[in-house]
Structure 1
Amino acid sequence: MFPMLWAEKHIDIGTNVFDKEWDLLIILDACRVDALKEVSPEFNFLDDINSIWSVGSTSKEWYANTFQGNRPEIGETALVSGNGWVEPLFEGQPNWSYWTMTRHSIWHNSSVINNALDRPLPSKEDFGEYVTVYEDRGGDCGTVALPDDVTNAAIKTGRETNTERMVVHYMQPHAPYLHERDGNKLPKMHNSPFESLRNGSTSREEVWEAYLNNLRLVLHSVENLLANIDADEVVISSDHGELFGECGLYSHIAACPHPALKRVPWVTTSAEDTHQMEPELSTEDINVDTKTRLRDLGYL
């Protein structure tokens, strides 16, 4: 893992989305190409499912390798993200050694490791607009950003700002699977699907179907976004894929070159603001630390 992360600092591995043409980039966290193809007949805006190689196999890798500090496009880009990794990357000093296999070893907090992996990153002030989306609901949902929360924030940002580009990062179909939530409660498997898959209490087919339903949930919200924002060139993609037992691996891990993780969808469409929706945003002041947000997503 460490050699791969070091190599990513010096060698372009995958396609940086800023090297492609788009006005609005919609990221569906942990969305596999084959999954999007499977549900595409149900959504008119999913016409031709192409793919690219991602610059990361986890969200933090994707962010670190996409938003490189020397890219001038960042200042003309609005980032609306429900992903908890944006805060430790863009609002503080990243702890690179903590994010590798050196964690809890004698190399933990090593300046050698940190210097080897360190790279220039923008701060939140460097973006044209920077919006994080979450709400502390407690229960099984915790601080996980719901699809409609991200859609509302993106609509508001699109109507009130004038940046050249916008990135909207939804947390679904990444676990937990929210499509059957009852208030703040989730079925146990939907909260920890890969634990259930590893211990054999749930079949791959059951977890896969729940994953697809979580994908359908977010795509319905994306459909609302496309009808309430103006963008000639829209791309729907992902930061990374997901593993369901391939090579004995589950979920997603850093610096893993498996095609089910590194190959991500690339779908083009367009959007027009018909003003069908007025965004409903919470005005409550929420104070949740980053570790809590990452824990709610199963990272810690």
Structure 2
Amino acid sequence: MALRHHLRKAREILSNEGPLETAKSAIRFVPIEVNNYIFRLRHGSGTYVMDEDWDNLLILDACRYDMFADQIDLDGALEPRISLGSSSEEFLERNFDSRACHDTVYVNANPYIPRLDLDRGTFHAVINCLEDWDPDLETVRPETVADAARDAHESFSNKRLVAHFMQPHHPFIGETGRDLTGTGLSIDSDGERDTVIWEYLESGDADASLETVWAAYKENLDIVLAEVESLLEDLEGKTVITADHGNLLGERLSPIPSRRKYGHPYGVHTPELVRVPWFICEGSERRDIRSDPPVESERASDSEIEKRLEALGYK
């Protein structure tokens, strides 16, 4: 998966910037791959989520383990797990590509599900929340995903349920976060996207301290956890709360050091990015799960998918 991604990016760089920039990009990735190899030796290859024991899997996008451990106040057991990806794209590819998960319904707010064609035959059904995109917040609200999960739980009572929330991933939607520059990626009057907060921090041009960004990031987590807590009351069976990946906030990669990094680039396996929470809520009596052929699901248009990815900082 990683090799395919790197080749795809290399072709894009070659087409847009020429062979010299392509060579520079390849050289920059050598120390990252060495670090990844050492990380895998120390921590293993990671968790395939579909092979684990759960009835409901609630995915919090870009949620660091350490932040979750500090903020969680629910009944359950917390474990650290190693995610298969450091970005949503890598997580989704490595967990679901070429797999038949026909005992599962996926309630989705992440544009990479349709971008990777995982809404076409991978699951029994995909419930698309991208149509309920909030144009002011430039994301899907957590209550939208929670309500769709409730409906899916009722309509598909004999299926495993995945609910993929976009928070705590930026844009920051709380009171602190909305005041920060670069919390979303609006398109300005010249047709160019605004700079995302991680790029501001990496360049040193942010108009807020790292402490303020941390506060906004935690605020996003608290907002989604409030919806998760309410949703748990309506779900039957064993529920796991986890994340697809984490986020860098100024850490340096190791053992080969780097400059300070922000955000969650594809294929960078470091604790802040791939060590994620695995919070187990045993819940009520287990559901009787069975597999059935996929049903046709509504999907966003290609142009909508690209706009959503851009608003979340993936373009």
Q: If the TM-score is normalised by the length of the shorter chain, which range does it land in?
A: 0.7 to 0.9
Matched residues in 1 for 2:166 and 2:134: separation?
Answer: 16
Identity of aligned residues (%): 31
Q: Is 1:292 matched up with 2:289?
A: no
Question: Is the 2:104–2:160 contact (alpha carbons within 8 Å) kept by the matching residues of 1?
Answer: yes
SS in 1 for 2:92: helix
Indicate the residue corresponding to 1:162 in structure 2: 157
Indicate the residue corresponding to 1:276 in structure 2: none
Alignment-mate amino acid for residue 124 of structure 2: G
Give the superposition deviation at 1:225: 0.9
Q: Is 1:207 matched up with 2:213?
A: yes
Matched residues in 1 for 2:133 and 2:87: separation?
Answer: 24
Matched residues in 2 for 1:15 and 1:211: separation?
Answer: 25
Matched residues in 1 for 2:114 and 2:247: separation?
Answer: 23
Larger Rg: 2
Matched residues in 2 for 1:131 and 1:220: separation?
Answer: 22
Matched residues in 2 for 1:209 and 1:15: separation?
Answer: 29
Q: How many residues align?
A: 246
Question: Is the 1:51–1:266 contact (alpha carbons within 8 Å) kept by the matching residues of 2?
Answer: yes
Report the CA distance shift for 1:4/1:289 in structure 2 as closer, same or farther (over 3 A).
Answer: closer
Matched residues in 1 for 2:166 and 2:142: separation?
Answer: 7
Question: Is the 1:28–1:239 contact (alpha carbons within 8 Å) kept by the matching residues of 2?
Answer: yes
Q: Is 1:147 matched up with 2:159?
A: no
Alignment-mate amino acid for residue 214 of structure 1: N
Indicate the residue corresponding to 2:11 in structure 1: none
SS in 2 for 1:15: coil
Matches within 5 A, 1:74-93: 74-90=101-117
Give the superposition deviation at 1:131: 0.8
Structure 1 unaligned segments of length 5 or more: list them: 91-121, 274-284
Give the superposition deviation at 1:44: 2.4
Matched residues in 1 for 2:4 and 2:45: separation?
Answer: 10
Question: Is the 2:81–2:276 contact (alpha carbons within 8 Å) kept by the matching residues of 1?
Answer: yes
Indicate the residue corresponding to 2:201 in structure 1: 197
Matches within 5 A, 1:1-300: 3=3, 13-40=45-72, 43-45=73-75, 47-71=76-100, 74-90=101-117, 123-134=119-130, 135-139=132-136, 141-142=137-138, 144-180=139-175, 187-191=180-184, 192-198=196-202, 199=204, 200-231=206-237, 233-247=238-252, 248-271=260-283, 289-300=304-315
Give the superposition deviation at 1:202: 2.1
Give the superposition deviation at 1:166: 1.0
Report the CA distance shift for 1:75/1:201 in structure 2 as closer, same or farther (over 3 A).
Answer: same
Matched residues in 2 for 1:154 and 1:266: separation?
Answer: 19
Question: Is the 1:84–1:293 contact (alpha carbons within 8 Å) kept by the matching residues of 2?
Answer: yes
Structure 2 unaligned segments of length 5 or more: list them: 7-32, 185-195, 253-259, 286-298
Query: How big is the alpha-carbon RMSD for the aligned residues of Structure 1 and Structure 2?
Result: 2.8
Q: Deviations over 1:245-266 (max 9, x none)?
A: 1111111001101111011101
Question: Is the 1:29–1:240 contact (alpha carbons within 8 Å) kept by the matching residues of 2?
Answer: yes
Question: Is the 2:87–2:265 contact (alpha carbons within 8 Å) kept by the matching residues of 1?
Answer: yes
Give the superposition deviation at 1:69: 1.8
Q: Deviations over 1:14-47 (max 9, x none)?
A: 110122111101100000110011112xx223x4
Question: Is the 1:26–1:169 contact (alpha carbons within 8 Å) kept by the matching residues of 2?
Answer: yes
Alignment-mate amino acid for residue 243 of structure 1: L
Alignment-mate amino acid for residue 208 of structure 1: W
Question: Is the 2:133–2:141 contact (alpha carbons within 8 Å) kept by the matching residues of 1?
Answer: no
